[in-house]
Structure 1
Amino acid sequence: MLTLPGRDLASARTARHYVRDTCRSWRLPTDTTDDFVAITGELVANALEHTESPTVVIACALTPGTATVGVTDDGRSGGTPVASPSAGGSEAGCEGGRGLLITDALATRWGTRRSGGGLTVWAEVAIEATS
């Protein structure tokens, strides 16, 4: 788990590096790592742009066949995602929300959950078995 400043745009870059290093330690395939890093960057950028959260927390988990990332903010000021978590949505014409459209395209599935006033946007990426 990594906690970063919520009002610092450099947090997205730091989060991407953290996730890339985590994926390497898990020995994930390069394509999976690239997707996971891109998703993380988009989710953190959304949290930085659409909330006034003083911190953003990045959590990664690895289970058989799946890698998951969650980005949590404190839920203040517009912390609700612009796009809905459904594949094939027609949100492409909306202002903003492209980060979640990218997430929707790269992730196996994604969603949101609220707890303790905070908002977590999470995404899963399937890990294909390597021969």
Structure 2
Amino acid sequence: MLTLPGRDLASARTARHYVRDTCRSWTLPASTTDDLVAITGELVANALEHTGSPTVVITCALTTDTATVAVADDGRSRGAPVVSASVGGSEAEYEGGRGLLITDALATRWGSLRTGEGLTVWAEFAVGAAVD
């Protein structure tokens, strides 16, 4: 888990490096690592742009079947709510540019979870036997 300043644009770069290093330590394939890093950048950018959260928390998890990255903020939303494509949101309902569309295209599945006032957006990748 990594906690970063929510009002610092450098947090997105730091989060990408953290996820890349974590994926490498797990010996994930380069393509999976690249996808997780790209999604992390998009999710952190959304949190930085659309909330006034003082911190953003990045969490990585690995099981025998999946690798997951999650980005949590404290929910001080300055924009529209996050809508997962898996629940039938239209393109017009997505926050900002194409970040969540990219997430939807790359991840095996993704979604969001509201916890109190906070929001966590997560993306999961099937890894199966590819992980040592």
Q: TM-score, normalised by structure 1?
A: 0.89
Amino acid aligned to 1:129: A
Q: Quickly say closer, same or farther: Cα 1:53–1:25, change in 2 above 3 A.
A: same
Determine the structure 2 residue equivalent to 1:59.
59
CA distance in 2, matches of 1:85, 1:121: 13
For the aligned residues, what is the CA RMSD? 2.3
1:40-51 counterparts in 2 under 5 A?
40-51=40-51
Gaps of 5+ in 1: none
Determine the structure 2 residue equivalent to 1:25.
25
Q: Quickly say closer, same or farther: Cα 1:104–1:113, change in 2 above 3 A.
A: same
- Count of aligned pairs: 130
Determine the structure 2 residue equivalent to 1:70.
70
CA distance in 1, matches of 2:92, 2:30: 28
Q: Secondary structure at the match of 1:120?
A: strand
Name segments (4+ residues, structure 1) moved above 6 Å: 92-95
1:51-130 counterparts in 2 under 5 A?
51-78=51-78, 80-81=81-82, 83-86=83-86, 90-91=90-91, 96-130=96-130
Gaps of 5+ in 2: none
Deviation at 1:78, TM superposition (A): 3.2
State the percentage of identical aligned residues: 79
User: Residues 52-104 of structure 1, C-alpha deviation per residue, up to 9 Å, x if partnerless?
Assistant: 000000000001121001100000123622x4332886517977241000000
CA contact (8 A) 1:92 1:101 kept: no
Q: TM-score, normalised by structure 2?
A: 0.88
